[in-house]
Amino acid sequence: MSSSIDLPRRRDEEGDFHELLPVDCPDCGCTVFQAKDDPGLVWEPGTSWGDECRDKQCHCHESPLLGQRRS
């Protein structure tokens, strides 16, 4: 009976839409989004620090990936 949750959708750097799943950044605790169909693609928060951020100089803030693969 559960209706499917509407996941946020964003475009990757090639213009394809992906449904996003929130995951925690392992380094600072902020929310990073990962493509549901391709966990290698991530969207990092950039200057949107979370309340629980432990490191505002974390790579996800200093050089965020936006629909790109972590290298």
Question: Contact residues for Zn ion (CB under 5 A)?
Answer: 25, 27-28, 30, 53, 58, 60
Asked if residue 36 lies in contact with residue 10, where contact means CB atoms within 8 angstroms, the answer is: no
Q: How far is the CB of 65 from Zn ion (least distance, A)?
A: 11
Q: How far is the CB of 50 from Zn ion (least distance, A)?
A: 6
Task: Report the residue number, 28 or 35, with the smaller CB distance to Zn ion.
Answer: 28
Give the separation between CA 36 and CA 21, rounded to whole angstroms.
Answer: 6
Give the separation between CA 52 and CA 1, rounded to whole angstroms.
Answer: 34
Task: Report the residue number, 16 or 52, with the smaller CB distance to Zn ion.
Answer: 52
Task: Report the residue number, 5 or 50, with the smaller CB distance to Zn ion.
Answer: 50
Asked if residue 30 lies in contact with residue 52, where contact means CB atoms within 8 angstroms, the answer is: yes
